[in-house]
Structure 1
Amino acid sequence: MGGPVLVMLGGLPGTGKTTLARRLAQVLPAAHVRVDTIEQAILRSSLGVDAPAEAGYGVAMAVAADCLRVGTSVVADAVNPVDAARDGWRGVADATGARLVELLLTCADADEHRRRVESRAADIPGHRQPTWAEVRALALDPWPGARVLDTAGTPPDEILDRVLALAVG
């Protein structure tokens, strides 16, 4: 591979980001940096942060940079809905010399996507999963630089194989 890689995942909740991130981190191997986990830790703390989402992304990027600087690849698991978030990850890759892979996960089958969203259980203490209405209301800025992977009807192993080809290639 020639050095660490930063795999930036993005997409709406329920598209398979965390499932992919966990498996990819094991196979590469890489650190799995999940913004939801960091945001929930901030909310549970007594820090009184006014903008936990912004703080969560900032902390995630700092942790990712530390990992990359010592040669550990990183899978960044977040919605990454706006250009500013994606630009932050790009800055991390630039500052550390890591190769960057940008992936936008989608689920084009609305029924499957809804089933995923409504059947998920929170796996982070205190985290509330968004409702289907909340997911549908989320807007993602256009992301022309990302490779788009539709996870609808595709087994997780097949998605993993596609991403591995990009991450190690």
Structure 2
Amino acid sequence: MAARLIVLCGTSFSGKSTVARELARRLPAQVVSMDEINDRRGLWGGAGIPLEEWSRTFQQAQTEALELLSSGTPVIVDDTSSPRFLRDAWRELAAGVGAEFILVYVETDETTVRARRDQNRITHSRRDVTDTVLNHHLSTFEPPAADEGALSVEQIRAIGR
């Protein structure tokens, strides 16, 4: 069976990392996390990252995913995956190695996202996202269009069963 590339799409604090860990355990699969790559590079997206640095992080994520997929290892990409051209780039990468591409939209309403961010400011379970960065992210986030065939979290969880 060909490897799978599962790309998560959703806003900050939507629950993507939780979904990624759960799916990685169930499938099994390897998670390629943009936050972890940024962390290794000494960057933090919650404070804003210059476009050229973010582009390098994206290139690193694609390199890591390509190596895993080429060896037949299923990959889950943990990222906001907005705007659409990023999702299209992942789709092209999967096609290039004959991997199945699955887009999962982790849809979470803005009230829940903000509540989770506020709770995180108390618990510090992950690094903070500034108000400026979160407001910009929420106002520019591009959810998947109907023609992208995105699955819901419930649909993708059934794949791992």
Q: How far apart are 1:54 and its partner, in Å? A: 0.9
| Residue aligning to 1:147 | 150
Aligned runs of 1:55-134 on 2, under 5 Å?
Answer: 55-108=56-109, 110-120=110-120, 121=124, 123=126, 128-131=127-130, 134=133
| Residue aligning to 2:30 | 31
Question: SS at the partner of 2:42?
Answer: helix
Q: How far apart are 1:88 and its partner, in Å? A: 1.7
Q: Which consecutive unaligned segments of at least 5 residues does structure 1 have?
A: 150-158
Q: How far apart are 1:65 and its partner, in Å? A: 0.8
Q: Which consecutive unaligned segments of at least 5 residues does structure 2 have?
A: 44-49
Higher helix fraction (1 or 2):
2
Q: How far apart are 1:12 and its partner, in Å? A: 0.6
> Equivalent of 1:162, from 150, 155, 161?
155
Instruction: Calculate the aligned-residue CA RMSD, in Å.
Output: 2.3
After superposing on structure 2, the runs of 4+ consecutive aligned residues of structure 1 that deviate more than 6 Å are none
Question: SS at the partner of 2:41?
Answer: helix
The TM-score with structure 2 as length reference comes to 0.80
Specify whether residues 111 and 84 from structure 1 end up closer, same or farther in structure 2 by C-alpha distance, changes over 3 A only: closer
The TM-score with structure 1 as length reference comes to 0.76
Larger relative contact order, structure 1 or 2 (CA cutoff 8 Å, min sep 6): 2
Q: How far apart are 1:107 and its partner, in Å? A: 1.1
Specify whether residues 43 and 74 from structure 1 end up closer, same or farther in structure 2 by C-alpha distance, changes over 3 A only: same
Name the CA distance, whole Å, in 2 between partners of 1:111 and 1:89: 29
